[in-house]
Structure 1
Amino acid sequence: MPSLTAAQTNAMQELLRIAPVIDDLGRLFRRAGHDLFLVGGSVRDALLGQLGHDLDFTTSAMPDQTHALLKEFTPSTWDIGRDFGTIGAMKRADGNEWQIEVTTFRADIYRSESRKPEVNFGDTIDGDLVRRDFTVNAMAINVATREFVDPYGGLDDLADGVIRTPGTPEASFSDDPLRMMRAARFASRLGFTVAPEVVAAMKDMADRIQIVSAERIQAELTGLLLTDQPREGIDLLVRTGVADIILPELPALRLEVDEHAHHKDVYEHSLTVLEQAIELEKDRGHQPDIVNRLAALLHDIGKPPTRRFEGSKVTFHHHDVVGAKMATKRLKALTYPTAVVKAVAKLIDLHLRFHGYADGEWSDSAVRRYVRDAGDELERLHILTRADCTTRNQRKATKLRRAYEELEWRIDELAAQEEIKALRPHLDGTQIMEILGLGPGREVGEAYRFLLEHRTEHGPMEHDAAVELLKSWWAERRSD
């Protein structure tokens, strides 16, 4: 973490960099008799030397007044957040495009029975800052005077790497229970320690997360998972009991013993798989991918309900199938997009398929089937399967790694020969109907599946041979 002096130097350098934008904006609001502050994450990031092109401000002006002033500042404005006091704008200056949000001083609260905050506008900067989630986000800079406003010790906490609330954590989490999840996200994103009193309040108030909408919980969980190091934040949610409510399948894994690695439980294994999947994402040139990360975290959630004892051995037969169904149900409840739900479920369902390959060489048809079943999720399946190898037995780990490298090589080789990634039967539905004299119906689908299976088992064939194969299959079928 930067020292106080380094943080202050960072902030001055960042303010000089954005001066062409904030100076004009500050003069505009001041002439109209309103205060304007750079606030929250923008100040925190400036202190860390990481301020981007998204700038957050708070003001004494009401939303209608803010909108009128921003229209003078730039022709590109929008008021989609007007009900929450926020007006947005885009400004081009010095070759950069700045995304700006200006929000009226807020004093929001949650009622005990409400799933949404009650929007109230405040009249002081200190009153606005005390309602913010954490001290490191409760700092502001007066745009006109450059006065640094830090009534709750955010600068010290930033230097110490501590997540703390401006007021009592109980009051903060009562106002907005989602802040418990934000504590986890910031712990992972910033690499900070969550203050003991914040952790204690999370444990005591975990049940209150139930009043927050599934959409907001999903957005916060996604933000946590897409950080570079989500383990600490996830573990915080599990330790405090918040995960028992939002993702109960995860803490359930702590009770299970992984049959592949008796030195750790399935919960720890799952966190390790997530970490390794993130590294593989980077190594293979991918951007952070919520599908990869959900699949890695949840790939073994089918183990608790499928655990059986067979003598001295613990088994989890069909935990892949059961886990895929459980993930589908949970992710739907969390309002994840259908495409994400289906992709995660498919990966969980297929994540054990490779282990048969490691035990012995697959035929070309088995490789084709692996690719066909993975479909568009093949690259993600590569990442999940590789990440799932967490054994400390170096000999076994080396064997598994080499086996999967060989499988990927064979897939590439067959793809070059046969266009395997676009695997289709030798004849399409129209051709099947013409050859057999059929109209659309179930029998055409059966013929299509027969030809696809033949293609998978035996590879490509000439058109005339495919026609004869289809006629022969049809004749045998009609004679049965």
Structure 2
Amino acid sequence: MKLPELRALIHTAIEHTEFAGKVYFAGGCVRDHLLGKESTDIDLTVELPEGGVRLAWYLHEQLGASHPIVYQRFGTAMTMFKGIKLETVMTRAESYRPQNRNPKVCHSDLYNDVMRRDFTVNSLLMSVADGCILDLCERGRQDLADGIIRCVREPQLTFGEDPLRLLRGIRFALRLGFEIEPITAAGIRDHATDLQYIKQERIAEEFNKLIVMKDIERTMRLLESSGVLAQILPEVAALQAILPNRYHHLNGLEHTFEVLRYCPPEPLLRWAALLHDVGKVQCEVLGKDNMLHYYGHEIKSAKLAASILKRFMIAAQDSSRITKAIAKHMVYKNIGYQAERISLKSLRKLILLPEADVELLLSLIHADNLSHAPDYCMPEQIPCLREQLSKELKKLSGIRFNLTGKDLISELGVQQGPLVGKLLKIAKHKWLEDPEISQEALMRILREKL
């Protein structure tokens, strides 16, 4: 539903009530409307004491909006109407305690409500009564036209009250394709260390939106240049210390940015690319050839990644898939520029993996390959490997490794435990050598091992 249509519905419902002339659309929905975009999250501000909660109940009773969820401490309520989330709040002033982003609120007038907001482009209002746009901070419409992210007040106040606004400002700049004006950008740099006072789940929520931004290179450069990356992902920021060598023409951080650039906005792949080399800092050794080496860095990176992904609230199943891809991202370094040296057995190992995991691994390796120094860049390796894999899948059409642990327990009489895993590993090894081997033949081999 477009904002003017919703305005007309609410206006009709509240006409001749205490809410008439007191209700305004606010924030992102007004911004998006002026940019020609639709919003499904609508903020309404009500210039009455407890007006947000009271309006939510009124819309529930008169328009059939859902039963309100009330946040009495902040004077806000949330309800659903025709698939749209409505958040209603009284016009208010806020006061913050040091190192605490939860404000103490009290009712105030419309001007003070606007001036408490974060950025000028988010401070615009639309009157529900007549549809007029109000720009009480006097810079919102111009900044929207100019493509500028600017704090409503002094950045020191805006970011000092709520450091999470640093990440929001960067996200708005990226999402809208806007520039952060210099004074606001300086404020972000000055307050980057204040993110230590923000709950990790709030940081995770914002960063998980950032990592799938279309322009991921600009995303990472804004985070790095502002000091935010070093604060929220010091393991990644530390990669700047990894110097270029004959295999990598960029330092470790720039290489990571390059790998990300070759990854589409898929969250698991972006996370794998971001963390695929984080273990290098701890694995660096000076070899007899007087060169720095990073032996086993993929395993160390996978272990570090597991901890980081937990910190950023990534689901355990997704984390497992990401870390497995990271742990294996070096596996094809020696199979040739066109995968001409890959063995049939190694190729068939991919068939045993879930298709989505194969795609994740190969996409990560391809992005990593493309980001190496020109003499060691292998742009054709993974496309050629994919072609070989496709041919082998057609050749083995209908033939799959279907033996399970339950089969072993049932047929061989073994107890559930480590032995089952060991026997399955032996069976898979035999299947990779001869995919047409029968289940009966596999069982005979396994019985001989008992």
Distance in 2 between residues matched to 1:216 and 1:441, nearest whole Å = 40
Alignment-derived partner of residue 30 in structure 2: 43
Distance in 2 between residues matched to 1:409 and 1:81, nearest whole Å = 56
Q: Pairwise CA RMSD of aligned residues? A: 2.6
Q: Does the CA-based 8 Å contact 1:177-1:212 persist in structure 2?
A: yes
Q: Does the CA-based 8 Å contact 1:350-1:374 persist in structure 2?
A: no
- Which residue identity does 1:205 align to in structure 2? H
Written as runs of structure 1 = structure 2, the 5 A alignment for 1:146-225 is 146-152=131-137, 153-225=139-211
- Which residue identity does 1:25 align to in structure 2? I
Distance in 2 between residues matched to 1:431 and 1:144, nearest whole Å = 70
Say if 1:89 and 1:363 are closer, same or farther in 2 by CA, change over 3 A: same
Instruction: Please state how far the C-alpha of 1:392 moved relative to its aligned partner.
Output: 7.5
Written as runs of structure 1 = structure 2, the 5 A alignment for 1:392-403 is 397=377, 400-403=378-381
- Which residue identity does 1:309 align to in structure 2? L
Q: Is it true that 1:128 corresponds to 2:113 in the alignment?
A: yes
Distance in 2 between residues matched to 1:136 and 1:55, nearest whole Å = 15
Q: Is it true that 1:290 corresponds to 2:267 in the alignment?
A: yes
Distance in 1 between residues matched to 2:370 and 2:57, nearest whole Å = 58
Alignment-derived partner of residue 477 in structure 1: none
What are structure 1's unaligned runs of at least 5 residues? 1-13, 279-287, 475-480
- Which residue identity does 2:251 align to in structure 1? D
Instruction: Please state how far the C-alpha of 1:68 moved relative to its aligned partner.
Output: 1.9
Please give the per-residue CA displacement for 1:50-102, whole angstroms capped at 9, x wherever unaligned: 1234332222242431222111343232433534433333334xxxx443332
Q: Does the CA-based 8 Å contact 1:67-1:87 persist in structure 2?
A: yes
Alignment-derived partner of residue 283 in structure 1: none
Please give the per-residue CA displacement for 1:306-343, whole angstroms capped at 9, x wherever unaligned: 22233353322111111111111122223332223222
Q: Does the CA-based 8 Å contact 2:242-2:252 persist in structure 1?
A: yes
Q: Does the CA-based 8 Å contact 1:140-1:150 persist in structure 2?
A: yes
Alignment-derived partner of residue 66 in structure 2: 77
Q: Does the CA-based 8 Å contact 2:242-2:280 persist in structure 1?
A: yes
Distance in 1 between residues matched to 2:4 and 2:62, nearest whole Å = 14
- Which residue identity does 2:116 align to in structure 1? R
- Which residue identity does 1:351 align to in structure 2? H
TM-score relative to the length of structure 2? 0.89
Say if 1:389 and 1:129 are closer, same or farther in 2 by CA, change over 3 A: farther
Alignment-derived partner of residue 384 in structure 1: 364
Pairing partner for 2:332 from 354, 373, 388: 354
Q: Is it true that 1:89 corresponds to 2:89 in the alignment?
A: no
Please give the per-residue CA displacement for 1:80-125, whole angstroms capped at 9, x wherever unaligned: 3534433333334xxxx443332222434432143x4124143222
Q: How many residues align?
A: 441
Say if 1:77 and 1:408 are closer, same or farther in 2 by CA, change over 3 A: same
Query: Which region of structure 1 is more displaced relative to structure 2, 433-442 or 173-182?
Result: 433-442
- Which residue identity does 1:133 align to in structure 2? D
Say if 1:89 and 1:443 are closer, same or farther in 2 by CA, change over 3 A: closer
- Which residue identity does 1:54 align to in structure 2? D
Q: Is it true that 1:242 corresponds to 2:232 in the alignment?
A: no
Q: Is it true that 1:25 corresponds to 2:10 in the alignment?
A: yes
Q: Does the CA-based 8 Å contact 1:187-1:233 persist in structure 2?
A: no
Alignment-derived partner of residue 260 in structure 2: 274
Distance in 2 between residues matched to 1:209 and 1:139, nearest whole Å = 27
- Which residue identity does 2:427 align to in structure 1? L
Distance in 1 between residues matched to 2:300 and 2:414, nearest whole Å = 39
Written as runs of structure 1 = structure 2, the 5 A alignment for 1:360-439 is 360-372=340-352, 376-391=356-371, 397=377, 400-418=378-396, 423-425=401-403, 428-439=404-415
Instruction: Please state how far the C-alpha of 1:156 moved relative to its aligned partner.
Output: 1.2
Alignment-derived partner of residue 251 in structure 2: 265
Say if 1:250 and 1:205 are closer, same or farther in 2 by CA, change over 3 A: same
Say if 1:417 and 1:343 are closer, same or farther in 2 by CA, change over 3 A: same
Instruction: Please state how far the C-alpha of 1:277 moved relative to its aligned partner.
Output: 0.3
Q: Does the CA-based 8 Å contact 1:366-1:457 persist in structure 2?
A: no
Say if 1:159 and 1:327 are closer, same or farther in 2 by CA, change over 3 A: same
Say if 1:207 and 1:444 are closer, same or farther in 2 by CA, change over 3 A: closer
Distance in 2 between residues matched to 1:169 and 1:49, nearest whole Å = 28
Say if 1:432 and 1:393 are closer, same or farther in 2 by CA, change over 3 A: closer
**SS across alignment from 2:36:** coil
Alignment-derived partner of residue 102 in structure 1: 88
Alignment-derived partner of residue 282 in structure 1: none
- Which residue identity does 1:322 align to in structure 2? K
Q: Is it true that 1:60 corresponds to 2:50 in the alignment?
A: no
Say if 1:423 and 1:185 are closer, same or farther in 2 by CA, change over 3 A: farther
Distance in 1 between residues matched to 2:398 and 2:106, nearest whole Å = 60
**SS across alignment from 1:388:** helix
Query: Which region of structure 1 is more displaced relative to structure 2, 353-362 or 32-41?
Result: 353-362
Instruction: Please state how far the C-alpha of 1:261 moved relative to its aligned partner.
Output: 5.2
Alignment-derived partner of residue 325 in structure 1: 303
Please give the per-residue CA displacement for 1:336-383, whole angstroms capped at 9, x wherever unaligned: 322232222222112222223236521221112245467742211222
Instruction: Please state how far the C-alpha of 1:268 moved relative to its aligned partner.
Output: 1.5
Instruction: Please state how far the C-alpha of 1:169 moved relative to its aligned partner.
Output: 0.4
Identity percentage of aligned residues: 27
Pairing partner for 2:279 from 289, 302, 305: 302
Q: Does the CA-based 8 Å contact 2:248-2:372 persist in structure 1?
A: no
Q: Does the CA-based 8 Å contact 2:230-2:237 persist in structure 1?
A: yes
Instruction: Please state how far the C-alpha of 1:148 moved relative to its aligned partner.
Output: 1.7
